[in-house]
């Protein structure tokens, strides 16, 4: 009975325990699934990367370029990661160390227009666009980061490098054309390949001379003109280079940097360049030796010319000193003669001056006499003219008087009376001691008598006043 009771009880307990364990396990699994779903519903983005999130449930595509935490539909979303900056290194090294890059590749092998080949180490750095539409277009085209690099960036960089090399000859590239090559390479990567036309052009270059009966030196170089096919850049009407479409423009990818390492020429070209360099060095050495010899000869010649010039200068100096001494003597004699001549000229000048002074005095006296004579003549003429004028006046007066004789005589009588009557105020009349009359029967007027008497009296006084001898 006890055994019968125990068996159902154990069975019941086992069933209950199994059911509890099953529920517990299912709870753990459910929690894990929920945790996984919750964790897969979010993702984080980092700086320097571009994320393309493709939602297959809703058919949407989102682009994230900045760091943060973002939601996605669990189990129905795919996240594609692209580096925003990529570096392709084609065998380029710095100080012997390999450059850290997205891709490590061998040098780009190119062929120049003159069929010479070379390997060019280069580094290209690209940057993705920040425009979501261009990123979506890029993702739709390439679908992954590795495919983008291998199918677009790597092939485009190699293609542009190879095409740019066809625009140069080997010698032109290795003799100073590397910098221009780098500029053109970066320009074509960023803006598109140049449109070119294959033409045959003349190129002057140095090459090994052919061994013949005239030349047994296999290392001799010679300059010659060769016809070489080159890709010539076409230009538009404004002189700008015509270009092909740039495949990077569609996706907004930019070329940030192009670095060229030391190119490695093929063996034949390297030997040619080395021999040419040696010959150029020898030629420079020979030219320098010639220039040195020429300079030494010129120096010796100059030294001889200097010695000759010194001797000539010494002789010339002695000659000049002798000439100067003679010139001094001649000059002293000349000065003495000049002094004598000046003295004589001075004496002659003094004599001449005296003669001239005397002549001037005589001339002045003559001029004075002449002036006096002329003045006397003018004075005589003036007197004569004055006399004539006075005579004319007197004549006019006389004519006037004759024209009015009675009036004139009356005026004379008046004037005489005005003089005589005051004088006769105290005059005593005495009988004259002489008789006035002319013995004629013509009667004499009182005036005539008084006039005669006055005249006689005046004569007496004059005679009395005059001393007798």
Q: How far apart are the first and last CA of the chain?
A: 247
Per the structure, the count of domains in the chain is 1
In a domain, 232, yes or no: yes
In a domain, 214, yes or no: no
Highest mean pLDDT among 8-12, 240-244, 252-256, 461-465: 252-256
Segment 154-180, tens digit of pLDDT:
999 999 999 999 888 888 888 878 889
Share of the chain above pLDDT 70, in %: 75
| Least confident piece of the model among 236-245, 261-270, 276-285 | 276-285
The residue assigned the tokens 């983005």 is 45
Reading the block at residue 313, the tokens are 């200068």
**What's the pTM value of the predicted model, to 2 decimals?**
0.51
135-161 average pLDDT score: 92
| 379 vs 449 pLDDT, higher one | 379
| 393 vs 142 pLDDT, higher one | 142
| 240 vs 215 pLDDT, higher one | 240
264-284 average pLDDT score: 75
For residues 149 and 127, give the distance between their C-alpha atoms in angstroms, rounded to a whole number: 12
- Indicate whether 124 pLDDT > 90: yes
C-alpha dihedral (406, 408, 411, 413), degrees to nearest 10: -70
DSSP 173-186: IIIIIHHHHHHHHH
Reading the block at residue 189, the tokens are 């990567």
Residue 211 pLDDT class (50, 70, 90 cuts): low
Question: What pLDDT, on a 0 to 100 scale, did the predictor assign at position 404?
Answer: 73
Question: What pLDDT, on a 0 to 100 scale, did the predictor assign at position 318?
Answer: 83
For residues 167 and 201, give the distance between their C-alpha atoms in angstroms, rounded to a whole number: 11
In a domain, 410, yes or no: no
In a domain, 63, yes or no: no
Residue 254 pLDDT class (50, 70, 90 cuts): very high
Question: What pLDDT, on a 0 to 100 scale, did the predictor assign at position 7?
Answer: 60
In a domain, 296, yes or no: no
For residues 357 and 354, give the distance between their C-alpha atoms in angstroms, rounded to a whole number: 5
Question: What pLDDT, on a 0 to 100 scale, did the predictor assign at position 8?
Answer: 60
* Domain range enclosing 181: 84-209+219-265
421-439 average pLDDT score: 59
Length reported for the chain: 469
In a domain, 349, yes or no: no
Question: What pLDDT, on a 0 to 100 scale, did the predictor assign at position 155?
Answer: 93
For residues 335 and 229, give the distance between their C-alpha atoms in angstroms, rounded to a whole number: 92
Question: What pLDDT, on a 0 to 100 scale, did the predictor assign at position 209?
Answer: 59
| 372 vs 428 pLDDT, higher one | 372
| Least confident piece of the model among 216-225, 333-342, 363-372 | 216-225
Reading the block at residue 224, the tokens are 């010659």
238 phi, psi to nearest 5 deg: -90, 5
Question: What pLDDT, on a 0 to 100 scale, did the predictor assign at position 1?
Answer: 47
CATH number at residue 231: 3.30.479.30
For residues 439 and 109, give the distance between their C-alpha atoms in angstroms, rounded to a whole number: 185
40-44 average pLDDT score: 75
- Indicate whether 280 pLDDT > 80: no
User: CA-based angle 21:23:25, to the nearest 5?
Assistant: 65
261-266 average pLDDT score: 88
For residues 33 and 423, give the distance between their C-alpha atoms in angstroms, rounded to a whole number: 192
Residue 39 pLDDT class (50, 70, 90 cuts): low
Question: What pLDDT, on a 0 to 100 scale, did the predictor assign at position 60?
Answer: 85
Mean pLDDT of the chain: 78
Note whether 168 and 218 are within 8 A (CB): no
The residue assigned the tokens 């001649």 is 330
100-123 average pLDDT score: 88
Residue 44 pLDDT class (50, 70, 90 cuts): confident
Segment 312-324, tens digit of pLDDT:
888 888 888 888 8
356-366 average pLDDT score: 81
In a domain, 181, yes or no: yes
Question: What pLDDT, on a 0 to 100 scale, did the predictor assign at position 295?
Answer: 79
In a domain, 93, yes or no: yes
152 phi, psi to nearest 5 deg: -115, -65
């Amino acid at each position: 009975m006890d055994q019968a009771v125990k068996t159902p009880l154990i069975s019941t307990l086992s069933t209950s325990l199994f059911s509890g364990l099953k529920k517990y396990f299912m709870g753990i699994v459910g929690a894990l699934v929920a945790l996984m779903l919750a964790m897969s519903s979010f993702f984080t983005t980092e700086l320097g990367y571009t994320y393309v999130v493709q939602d297959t449930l809703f058919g949407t595509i989102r682009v994230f370029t900045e760091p943060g935490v973002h939601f996605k539909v669990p189990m129905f979303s795919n996240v594609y990661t692209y580096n925003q900056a990529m570096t392709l290194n084609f065998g380029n090294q710095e100080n012997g160390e390999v450059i850290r890059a997205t891709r490590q590749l061998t040098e780009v092998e190119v062929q120049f227009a003159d069929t010479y080949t070379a390997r060019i180490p280069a580094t290209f750095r690209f940057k993705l666009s920040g425009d979501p539409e261009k990123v979506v277009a890029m993702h739709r085209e390439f679908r992954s980061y590795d495919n983008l690099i291998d199918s677009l960036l790597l092939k485009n960089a190699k293609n542009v490098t190879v095409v740019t090399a066809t625009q140069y000859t080997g010698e032109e590239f290795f003799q100073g054309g590397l910098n221009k090559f780098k500029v053109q390479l970066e320009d074509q990567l960023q803006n598109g390949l140049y449109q070119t036309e294959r033409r045959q052009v003349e190129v002057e270059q140095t090459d090994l001379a052919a061994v013949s009966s005239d030349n047994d030196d296999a290392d001799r170089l010679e300059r010659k003109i060769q016809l070489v096919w080159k890709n010539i850049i076409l230009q538009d009407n404004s002189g700008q280079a015509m270009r092909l479409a740039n495949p990077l423009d569609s996706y907004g990818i930019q070329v940030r940097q192009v670095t060229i390492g030391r190119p490695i020429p093929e063996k034949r070209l390297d030997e040619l360049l080395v021999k040419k360099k040696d010959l150029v060095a020898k030629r420079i050495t020979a030219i320098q030796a010639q220039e040195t010899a020429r300079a030494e000869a010129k120096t010796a010649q100059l030294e001889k010319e200097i010695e000759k010039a010194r001797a000539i200068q010494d002789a010339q100096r002695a000659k000049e000193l002798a000439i100067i001494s003679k010139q001094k003597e001649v000059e002293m004699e000349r000065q003495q003669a000049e002094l004598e001549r000046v003295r004589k000229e001075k004496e002659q000048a003094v004599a001449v001056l005296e003669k001239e002074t005397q002549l001037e005095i005589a001339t002045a006296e003559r001029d004075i006499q002449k002036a006096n004579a002329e003045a006397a003549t003018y004075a005589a003429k003036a007197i004569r003219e004055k006399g004539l004028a006075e005579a004319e006046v007197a004549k006019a007066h006389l004519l006037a008087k004759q024209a009015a004789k009675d009036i004139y005589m009356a005026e004379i009588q008046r004037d005489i009376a005005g003089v005589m009557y005051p004088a006769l105020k105290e005059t005593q009349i005495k009988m004259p001691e002489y008789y006035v009359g002319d013995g004629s029967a013509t009667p004499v007027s009182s005036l005539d008598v008084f006039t005669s008497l006055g005249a006689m009296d005046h004569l007496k006084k004059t005679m009395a006043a005059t001393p007798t001898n």
